[in-house]
């Protein structure tokens, strides 16, 4: 597999055993990259099985439910733990820092206070 896809590796392809990851900056670039990879595979009589192909990367629904149902933090330590957990999924949330700003602002309060403004983003 490495030999077949060598011209693309480090540019828009990562190969791990028999898994192929194709990454691109734009949708148009991605479609072009897919065509190039599929053409290279076809030339070598290699084919991707449609059931093994996935469309992009997505958050695990069980973990998203866990974040949404996370108990209300009672102190700074619990709030930091929640932010750390949620930050793992920041790539799936547009404007993550703006969305979580009300939660982060709770850390600046002395004494600590979980505000109503922090409730909404913790449930989205």
Domain ranges of the chain: 6-52, 61-119
d(CA 19, CA 61): 23
pLDDT tens for the chain, residues 1 to 124: 788 999 999 999 999 887 898 999 888 999 999 999 999 999 999 988 777 777 666 778 888 888 888 888 899 999 999 899 888 888 888 888 998 899 999 899 888 888 878 877 656 6
pLDDT value of residue 94: 84
pLDDT value of residue 37: 95
- Shortest CA distance to 35 belongs to which of 22, 51, 25, 26? 22
pLDDT value of residue 56: 66
């Amino acid at each position: 597999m490495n030999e077949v896809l060598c011209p693309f590796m480090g540019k828009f392809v990562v190969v791990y055993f028999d898994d192929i990851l194709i990454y691109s900056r734009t949708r148009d670039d991605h479609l072009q990259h897919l065509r190039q990879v599929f053409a290279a595979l076809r030339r070598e009589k290699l084919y991707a099985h449609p059931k093994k192909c996935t469309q992009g990367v997505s958050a695990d629904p069980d973990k998203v439910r866990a974040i949404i149902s996370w108990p209300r933090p009672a102190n700074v330590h619990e709030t930091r733990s929640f932010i750390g957990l949620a930050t793992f999924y920041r790539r799936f949330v547009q404007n993550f820092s703006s969305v979580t700003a009300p939660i982060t602002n709770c850390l600046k309060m002395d004494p600590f206070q979980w505000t109503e403004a922090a409730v909404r983003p913790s449930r989205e």
